[in-house]
Chains A and B, each alone.
Chain A
Amino acid sequence: MRRWVYFSLVPVLGALFWWGMQRDPGELKSVLVGKPAPDFELSLLPPYRAEWGERFRLSEHRGKPVVLNFWASWCYPACYEEAPILEAGWRRFRDRVLFFGVNTQDREADALEFIAQFNLTFPHGYDPRGKVGIDYGMYGVPETFFIDAEGRVRYRHAGAITAAELEKRIREVLP
Chain B
Amino acid sequence: MRLLWPLVFFAFAFAQTPTGEPPPDLPPEVFRIASELRCPVCQGESAAESNAGVSQEMRRQIAEMLRQGKSAEEIKRYFVERYGEWILYAPPKRGINWLLWLAPLIGLLVFGFGFWRYLAEAGRREAELELSDEELKALERRLEGE
Contact = CB atoms under 8 A, between A and B. Distances in A.
A110 B15 CA distance: 12
Contacts of A66: none
Contact of A129 (B11, B14, B60, B83): B60
Interface stretch (B27-35, B50-58, B91-99): B50-58
Majority DSSP secondary structure for residues of B touching A: helix
Contacts of A92: none
A19 interface: no
B41 interface: yes
B17 A75 contact: no
A105 B11 contact: no
B18 A128 contact: yes
Contacts of A142: 11
B112 to A, nearest CB: 16
Question: Which range holds the interface residue count of chain B?
Answer: 20 to 34
B58 A31 contact: no
B5 interface: no
Contact of B40 (A75, A106, A139): A139
Interface in A111-159: 128-131, 133-142, 159
Interface of A: 29-32, 38, 72, 74-79, 104-107, 110, 128-131, 133-142, 159-160
Given A105-B14, A129-B60, A130-B53, 13 more contacts: A31-B82, A38-B82, A76-B13, A105-B15, A129-B17, A134-B58, A134-B79, A140-B11, A140-B12, A140-B13, A140-B41, A141-B12, A160-B11
